[in-house]
Structure 1
């Protein structure tokens, strides 16, 4: 069997293949799932899903089903706990989502991994490292921003009202310092809470550069535990090629109903939104009556379309044109000769508009000689000889 030539793939195809290879190296098994799931699953966990609306329909039994807007929920639903064991899975499936403040749905290719079971600090470090490695597959100009809900929730311990707590978390995510101060003032929350959160938001960059500042925060048990975990994670990252691309950023926040630990978002220059997101979601596991912890991340490969250009020079090496007088046998013989030389070929009666081809070869019936040199296309992908 011939090897796959990755240079002939689109960025999305090549990235998907390389991510699969990466995850398999670390023992993650491919997980396949159905396109549909019971609508009730998403209704109960709507806040976990980053979409405004869900495409639903009734099946032949009359049960309300949905096109999957999320893959993690389905994986957790089917997870079975095994003491002392961590189950490692990766996936590459389409999800169906609408953007915020939009009723228009979009089919998106989502590739990612999940690690579930008796999670320890090594597993957290491994998943974070794989998130950084995944970004490196996509681009050399990328940043993985890391946060930890354990630190944030520890500093918010004096805040008893869940609604107020969520308002503050939202302000932290927006880096809105004045809003944090305003909420704490209006709700008569200790001034130290606002000051600590403002310090936390300002602690951005390499972990070594912000460690002392973070250690000066008035942390309780869960906060110190979160700091110890970050020490371990960044200790592992420091020994990898990705150490300069992984930064602390506590404006990365998520819902405390589901997330309890490390969080990350990945950014690639040229794409105006995060292309990777994930974290630890033990509370979702508990909410769905599943034992053990869990963390993972998703990569949105469709966003690669936002990058300028594509590294492939051509869609195909050769366009072979034939006419009515050319026999199928002669066409096949010349096709085999060309592909035998390692080139790709598209056999047509006319050159398709917009195609990027190395050259055009014409059979005698198409007004040419059956030679392999052919004609070179112009810059627009059209041929420079007669059409």
Structure 2
């Protein structure tokens, strides 16, 4: 390969300016046996109305179809895939997608289009399935940033511990909100008002506080476990931690029990992926057997979605180098200097005037001189 192309390859290794990121992710997903899934932009509104809690409060944009049916711009991809899957436990489906989802903007004054990629593994889910998907998420995050982390939780652990509290359904719903918001104070106040500030409540309170590298947090968490459901979830997390320790990027795996979604749909492991450059989770996923069960499909499912809308924020960086020139400079020599820098994997913008860049150089008498602020 010519040296100039090697430089370009290095520049685009992490998605370059963001345009090649979907191509890299598609290649990654395909290498794990996932097949591209294509779908219609529209779905009947009833699909979303019947599963509104699964959408986590997303507003659905509706309109009337020519046949009189109420249609919706797709606010979610997983529901469509789950509805149409032919997977069985004996013959599963592994699919990935690159689609737009549509949601009403704040104030309901318009809609926003969100570029999204993701994978769904439908059929049978076991430790290997989960471990492989964690590995896939870690690799996906590494395409986005050098500084990333994957927060993981388990619905069985959260639900199992909360079920040990002798509380009404309404009070338990408030406990879940306390866990999700990591509000220890609100939880303590709730327990006092409910007269339930005993040993189990103290353990749940400590559970809310716990977060950090999974191999460091699990030993303390083990001492808090109460009940069979939570114990089974803990064993699964221990096994997953053991497998993750041998993965590239496995040291980025963190345990945080505030990571959970609607428990009427999700079960098992749940995860949020983060990068330094973006304030919210860029990857969200988990096991959602209960959704498939509600749809009458006797299979398990595990998946995650990547918000590619975060990519512009990730890649909205100035060029590595601005190379300044003037009209008296030799065109060929200036271009050669720029190409030499590109061969080293640098992004270079050649300009007559100052432009944003990490470093700025002026071409002077056949050489480059750094220009300070």
Q: Which residue of 2 aligns with 1:140?
A: 146
Change (3 A) 1:70 1:182: same
Q: Which residue of 1 aligns with 2:30?
A: 24
C-alpha RMSD of the superposition:
2.7
Q: Which residue of 1 aligns with 2:361?
A: none
Secondary structure in 2 matching 1:271:
coil
Q: Gaps (5+ residues) in structure 1? A: 315-341, 343-355, 360-375, 382-387
Q: Which residue of 1 aligns with 2:77?
A: 71
Q: Which residue of 2 aligns with 1:348?
A: none
| Aligned mates of 2:266, 2:315 — CA distance in 1 | 35
Q: Which residue of 2 aligns with 1:262?
A: 269
| Aligned mates of 2:319, 2:121 — CA distance in 1 | 34
| Aligned mates of 2:105, 2:271 — CA distance in 1 | 20
Query: Offset of 1:190 from its aligned partner?
Result: 5.7
Change (3 A) 1:94 1:312: farther
Query: Offset of 1:100 from its aligned partner?
Result: 6.4
Secondary structure in 2 matching 1:166:
helix
Q: Which residue of 1 aligns with 2:353?
A: 378
Q: Which residue of 2 aligns with 1:150?
A: 156
Kindly indicate whether residue 217 of structure 2 is the aligned counterpart of residue 242 of structure 1: no
| Aligned mates of 1:306, 1:256 — CA distance in 2 | 32
Query: Offset of 1:304 from its aligned partner?
Result: 2.1
Whether the aligned pair in 1 keeps the contact of 2:286 and 2:303 (CA below 8 Å) is yes
Change (3 A) 1:55 1:266: same
Q: Which residue of 1 aligns with 2:285?
A: 278
| Aligned mates of 2:91, 2:231 — CA distance in 1 | 26
Q: Which residue of 2 aligns with 1:302?
A: 309
Query: Offset of 1:34 from its aligned partner?
Result: 0.7
| Aligned mates of 1:178, 1:357 — CA distance in 2 | 52
Aligned residues: 325
Q: Gaps (5+ residues) in structure 2? A: 322-338, 340-346, 357-373
| Aligned mates of 1:69, 1:313 — CA distance in 2 | 37
**Which one scores higher on RCO, CA 8 angstroms, separation ≥ 6?**
2
Q: Give TM-score scaled by structure 1 length.
A: 0.77
Q: Give TM-score scaled by structure 2 length.
A: 0.80
Larger radius of gyration: 1
Secondary structure in 1 matching 2:211:
coil
Change (3 A) 1:134 1:183: same
Query: Offset of 1:40 from its aligned partner?
Result: 0.7
User: C-alpha deviations, 1:340-387, integer Å up to 9, x for none?
Assistant: xx9xxxxxxxxxxxxx9966xxxxxxxxxxxxxxxx553459xxxxxx
Secondary structure in 1 matching 2:87:
coil
